[in-house]
Every structure is written in C-alpha cells, then in structure tokens.
Structure 1
Amino acid sequence: MIIEFEAEVFRWDAREDSAWFFTAVPAELSEDIREIPRPYRGFGSVRVRARVAGTEWATSIFPSSSDGTYVLPLKKAVRDAEGLVDGGPVYVRLEVLDG
C-alpha cells in the first residue's frame, strides 16, 4: 500500500527539551493502514519506506495515543536535507511494508 499526504511538522511536546519531530498521517489514511492484516509489532508500529522530496528512508510509524492517527518520526538528517521546520508543511510518500 502506498499513501501520499501533506501535513505539518511538529515537535514532540511531552518534554520541552525534546528534539523529536513528527508528522501525523491523516485520520482517514491511518484508518486504512489500521485495517491491513499484519503481525503485531512493538508499540503497534508499522514498518514503512518514507520519502520526503529527495530523501527516502526505512522507518516505522507509530499510533498516536491522543487521536488515533499514526505519526512518522522525522529524523534530523531528513529535516536538514529537506529544510523541514517545526510548524512547516511536509509532503510525504509512505509505502507500507507490513501486511
């Protein structure tokens, strides 16, 4: 399954000194991902291949405890390479590898 979406970059707010940044998969796409039969992985994670502009990497998305969507971690190397900033837009292509 391949999905594409545009969303906002946000900093993990559980800690003020956090350097963790994410973007949220929209609710309707998160529901589609949740319906894919797959084995359970730690923390409910789903393996994906992510692409933001010219940067592609293998990672996992994780269910958000606050709203039921999945969140994609955006590591520093990706943010730097693609000029992503807190509160800014990001266009993401995800290939779901589990399922």
Structure 2
Amino acid sequence: MDGLSYSFNDVIKLWVGSKSTWHYVSLPLAMSDEIHTLSQYHQTKRRGWGAVKVDVAVQGQQWQTSIFPAFEDGRYALFLKADIRKQLGIAAGSEIAVTLTLLW
C-alpha cells in the first residue's frame, strides 16, 4: 500500500435493504470529508455512485474494494462481503480496526 492511508475503528453494523442485508463499517465524518475533497481532484478515476477505490487491511487480511458515500451526513461506508467476514471470523457487532489506502 503506497497511497494516502487512513486508520479507524468501528463496530460492524447491518444495512437492511429491500432484497438483501449488508454488513458495513462507517468512516468517521472528518475522514470522509477529507476523502470526498480529495476525490474531487481525481474525478477522472472515480467510480460509479461516487465510490472511491481503496486497499483495505483488517486483522492482517488485505483486499481491494471501494468505499461509498452512503449517509446523509456525508460519511463513507466500507461494505464487508461474506467471504471476508468468514475468513476474519467477524460479524455484526464485532469491533474491527481498519486501515484503508486510497487508490487513484
């Protein structure tokens, strides 16, 4: 990971949609604001729905995914797929330490 990195802790929450349920952690508001500002300078590499591509590290596991602006107050969400949760032994209610690196 060689880009701008951020670290935070959060408890895994559930987002219940009409057809599925998602597990996620939310980035702190100040961190989200900074990432949003930076993403404006990298618009040519932005993904759909305002997503930002990131490298993620949790408990020694690393993978690439995207964070999404998912909340009315501007915070980004990092969704955690089932295979990642299973590998890490985590579930809704688990507190995790996350390091993410922005990929432009």
Please report the TM-score for the alignment, with normalisation by the length of structure 1.
Answer: 0.89
User: Does residue 76 in structure 1 map to residue 82 in structure 2?
Assistant: yes
- Equivalences for residues 60-99 of structure 1 within 5 A: 60-98=66-104
**Partner of 1:79: helix, strand, or coil?**
helix
User: Does residue 33 in structure 1 map to residue 39 in structure 2?
Assistant: no
Deviates more, 1:6-15 or 1:70-79: 6-15
Report the AA paired with residue 80 of structure 1.
K
CA distance in 1, matches of 2:35, 2:9: 16
Identity of aligned residues (%): 33
Structure 2 unmatched ranges of 5 or more: none
* 1:11–1:18 contact (8 Å) kept in structure 2: no
CA distance in 1, matches of 2:70, 2:21: 18
Structure 1 unmatched ranges of 5 or more: none
**Partner of 1:87: helix, strand, or coil?**
coil
In the TM superposition, residue 19 of structure 1 has moved relative to its aligned partner by 3.7
Please report the TM-score for the alignment, with normalisation by the length of structure 2.
Answer: 0.85
CA distance in 1, matches of 2:47, 2:29: 20
RMSD: 1.4
Question: Which runs of structure 1 show a deviation greater than 4 angstroms over 4 or more consecutive aligned residues?
Answer: none
In the TM superposition, residue 87 of structure 1 has moved relative to its aligned partner by 1.7
